């Protein structure tokens, strides 16, 4: 199993509303995807997601299509920093472990 962990740090708390619109469309896409499980957490300008998938091909099919792809293209408008990592695990780590994985091994995109 593969777990995708992502964080987004917004440029401003005012961008939360735009993030919410993106998240609504992405959530609808996620429900129709091959995602097995989903968790989210966030407050103010820092937000996290974890998704569980059977394989990396399913992750890529979701990531590079539909609402998620549109959000990727527009992310630089609202994000200061995005971090992401895909790891081999059978179940979600706790949030503290997920944050450590992102900070130590994740890919970082700064805008």
Contacts of residue 16, Cβ cutoff 8 Å, sequence gap at least 6: 10, 44, 45
pLDDT of residue 71: 98
pLDDT of residue 66: 99
Q: Coil, helix or strand for 10?
A: strand
Segments making up each domain of the chain, as ranges: 2-110
pLDDT of residue 96: 98
Under-50 pLDDT residues of the chain: none
pLDDT of residue 52: 99
Q: Coil, helix or strand for 91?
A: coil
HSE-CB for 44 with a 13 A CA cutoff: 0
DSSP string for 19-56: HHHHHHHHHHHHHTSS--EEEEEEETTEEEEEEEES-H
pLDDT of residue 110: 97
Q: What are the structure tokens assigned to 93, written together?
A: 């780590």
CATH of 2-110, one of 3.30.390.10, 1.20.1560.10, 3.30.70.100, 3.40.50.2300: 3.30.70.100
């Amino acid at each position: 199993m593969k777990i995708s962990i992502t964080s987004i740090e917004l440029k401003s708390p005012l961008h939360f509303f735009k993030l919410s619109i993106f998240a609504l469309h992405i959530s609808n896409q996620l429900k129709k995807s091959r995602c097995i499980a989903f968790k989210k957490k966030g407050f103010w300008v820092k937000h996290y997601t974890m998704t569980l998938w059977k394989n990396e091909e399913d992750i890529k099919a979701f990531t590079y299509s539909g609402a998620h792809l549109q959000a990727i293209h527009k992310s630089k408008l609202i994000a200061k920093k995005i971090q992401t990592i895909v790891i081999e695990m059978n179940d979600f780590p706790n949030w503290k472990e997920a944050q450590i994985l992102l900070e130590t091994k994740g890919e970082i995109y700064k805008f």
